[in-house]
A and B are shown apart, each in its own frame.
Chain A
Amino acid sequence: MAVTPRSSSAAAGSKALGADLGLSTDDLLEMYRLVALARAVDERMWILNRAGRIPFVISGQGHEGAQVGVTWALEKGKDWIAPFYRSIATCLTFGMSPRDIMTAQYATASDPSSGGRQMPGHYGSHEHNLVSVSSPVATQLLHAVGLALAAKIKKTGQVALTIMGEGSSNQGDVHEGLNFAAIHKLPFVFIVENNGYAISVPLARQVAASSVANRAEGYGIPGVTVDGSDVLACYAAARTAVARARAGDGPSLIECKVTRLTGHSSDDQQTKYRSEEELAADRSLDPVPKFRAQLVDAGVLTPEAEDRIDAAIKDAVHDATEYAEAQPDPDTRTAMKWVYAEDWPSEGPPPWGMGEGPAAEGATPADPAGLPESVAD
């Protein structure tokens, strides 16, 4: 059975907010900063898209609270996350910077996720233990399970966590991976950010079960559903799952019920399949004002603290945009790099009638200076 943990805010009572979860005031303020920062970066992406500066946006708006709450339960720099395309707040919480996120939008040479090779939203950073995102959905679950297998065999004490939407959770890889992780009691946590839509298809047309979390029972692992707009409830659930994983007791499934405040992507008009009434109602589930009100009520977010955080976020978003705008495109002469570890000359065009350099129109003339020979071929 899925169990909904008691709301963390209701548990505050006479104790300080978050104290029962071991969270300090500084922790809460940092969590709020990350939630608000992710939203501000995301909103800037849409402005840049509508202004014609970047061609594509895929958004995490509405998911930020769950992402920060869940990620906070992991050990940064040690544990692993295989994220998905809405994981902006996850990536920021795990160590990526607004510049890292924004250079991905501009697909610059310095974009640490892919050097401008992937569409925006396909984040990844080996430095921060964030596995590279691809576009086929749910494939990453198996990568996190594999990381958990390596952690168990090598006895590193690491936990691997993966995240996807409820639409993706229907893929066969999820079944195969949860089954394997449960059999071997791997240190693995599966997060489903259930926003009720797989692009345009509503939950009732995706999942026959009463919840995604209920499916955990079939794998013999715990499954819980939490309010994804309640940052501390998400943290509490993830903390329990991470502790269980680290203790060698096996995987858990957490379904965070969130709302998708934007269309699926910048190429989607969600008013075509969602009513204005529904969208208005969903805005009440926005985690940003909700978390803010919770922290203000608890006396954690003082006006001074909020001013300080807001100003820093404004600066960071501005800096990231200016920085990414100024970054150069990747050099086409590097486009053959990293097919394999070693340089890859390809089984290229035949040597006759091709002159010295590449024959394709628009190709950069060969200039071997500073580049391995095969790159300049």
Chain B
Amino acid sequence: MALKTFIEAIRDGLREEMTRDENVIILGEDVGKKGGVFLATDGLWADFGDDRVIDTPLTESQIIGTSIGAAIGGLRPVAEIQFADFIHPAFNQLVSEAARLRYRSNNGYSAPMVVRAPYGGGVHGALYHSQSVEAFYTHVPGLKVVIPSTPYDAKGLLRSCIRDDDPVLFFEHKKMYRSVRGDVPDGEYTVPLGKAQVTHPGSQVTVIAYGLMAHYALEAADRVADDGISVEVVDLRTLRPLDKETLLDSVRKTGKCLIVYEDNRFGGYGAEVAAIVAEEAFDYLDGPVTRIAGPDVPGVPYNHALEDWFMVDPEKIADGIRRLAAY
């Protein structure tokens, strides 16, 4: 067991999977000698060489489209999109091609590949280095979407994603890269896709979150404990396929559900979770299904006061919990 930062756990996961399976390759912008702009792939080019750690031109559609073809050809590509904000030029390749390949060929073809991308705000990244893009992709059957919140989960889930036979988007909150530390076992382990985790048991309000918000939800749970409110936090970890049972079990126990996400509120991933809770736990609810989410502006503004205004934080979540608990 060793204490690792979030990004160290990701790098270790990549290295160990590349060592285990020679078909695993990495491609993306600046992933080679530089080791990525966040250094997620630092040292891998030196260890695995030009063929397996490939610096690409600034061509996101090519990164994804080439990964699809390479996957058909028997490789296990791990593509890095430098910022999730820049994944949009590859939307067609992800949605029209990677997601549909298995279904449209009636299982004749598949595209086992991982797309890693740093997402999220709170780092002075402004409109184009702060976006949360998960809702675009959780909408699409054929894609899997994973957002880990701890070093342990990041490494274990990344290994599962690389071994999975379908395309997976793996979003990493960039604010967590060096600010979040946690214990990671030395030996090989995996964390299964499609399993949420109760990270804080409680009895009065369920808070459902993922990524950075899973940490903020825990902080909020501590704050409202002083007010005598018992909160259960569910960290989804995999957004699709969604582990409905874990979150519904929690809501059926507490009777109150608050969903937290950093993305714009309208049509965000939490809206789907809210619909599922309303449909499937209605008889157990003792208050409205509520959401704390980012405001509906086109991006996170740069100025620190404006960015703080945009970002969901522990106190905003605590406020939401208090209001829901009092309902």
Contact = CB atoms under 8 A, between A and B. Distances in A.
B75 A154 contact: yes
B93 A139 contact: yes
B75 A339 contact: no
Contacts of A344: 141, 241
A218 interface: no
B72 interface: yes
Size bracket, chain B contacts: 35 or more
Interface stretch (A32-40, A115-123, A229-237): A115-123
Contacts of A141: 65
Interface stretch (B99-107, B126-134, B204-212, B285-293): B99-107
B109 A124 contact: yes
Given A153-B70, A337-B107, 14 more contacts: A113-B108, A124-B105, A126-B105, A131-B72, A136-B92, A139-B93, A143-B66, A147-B70, A153-B75, A338-B102, A339-B102, A341-B110, A346-B141, A347-B244
Contacts of A160: 69, 73
A270 interface: no
A177 B65 contact: yes
A150 B70 contact: yes
A183 interface: yes
Interface in A111-151: 111-115, 117-118, 122, 124-126, 131-132, 134-136, 139, 141-151
B69 A146 contact: yes
A173 interface: yes
B51 interface: yes
Size bracket, chain A contacts: 35 or more
Contacts of A136: 92, 96-97
A173 B65 contact: yes
Nearest to A143: B69
Contacts of B102: 338-341
Given A344-B241, A351-B280, A142 B103 contact: no
25 contacts: A80-B73, A114-B108, A124-B108, A132-B109, A134-B97, A135-B96, A136-B96, A141-B65, A143-B66, A145-B65, A146-B67, A146-B68, A146-B72, A146-B77, A147-B73, A150-B69, A150-B70, A153-B52, A153-B75, A154-B73, A179-B59, A339-B102, A347-B242, A347-B244, A351-B280
Nearest to A351: B280
Nearest to B58: A176
Interface string A313-337: 0000000000000000000000001
Contacts of B59: 176, 179-180
A149 B72 contact: no
Interface string A149-178: 111111000001000000000001100110
Contacts of B93: 139, 142, 173
Given A147-B72, A154-B75, A173 B166 contact: no
Interface centre among A131, A141, A142 (most CB of B within 10 A): A142
B165 A150 contact: no
Nearest to A334: B106
Interface of A: 80, 82, 111-115, 117-118, 122, 124-126, 131-132, 134-136, 139, 141-154, 160, 172-173, 176-177, 179-180, 183, 337-341, 344, 346-347, 350-351
A141 to B, nearest CB: 8
A176 B57 contact: yes
Interface in B53-87: 56-57, 59, 61-62, 64-75, 77
Contacts of B66: 142-143, 145-146, 149, 177, 180
A118 B65 CA distance: 20
Contacts of A135: 96
B108 A126 contact: yes
A80 B59 CA distance: 23
A338 B109 CA distance: 10
Interface centre among A111, A139, A172 (most CB of B within 10 A): A139
B142 interface: yes
Contacts of B107: 337-338
B31 to A, nearest CB: 14
Given A146-B67, A154-B73, A154-B74, A179 B57 contact: yes
Given A126-B105, A338-B102, A145 B61 contact: no
Given A131-B72, A136-B96, A339-B142, A142 B65 contact: yes
Contacts of A350: 279-280
Nearest to A330: B106
Interface centre among A172, A176, A179, A339 (most CB of B within 10 A): A176
Given A117-B103, A142-B68, A150 B74 contact: yes
Contacts of A117: 103-104, 106
Nearest to B102: A338
Contacts of B70: 146-147, 149-150, 153
A143 B64 CA distance: 9
A299 B155 CA distance: 68
A125 B67 CA distance: 20
Contacts of B4: none
Contacts of A176: 57, 59, 61-62, 65
A180 B62 contact: yes
A25 to B, nearest CB: 36
A339 B141 contact: yes
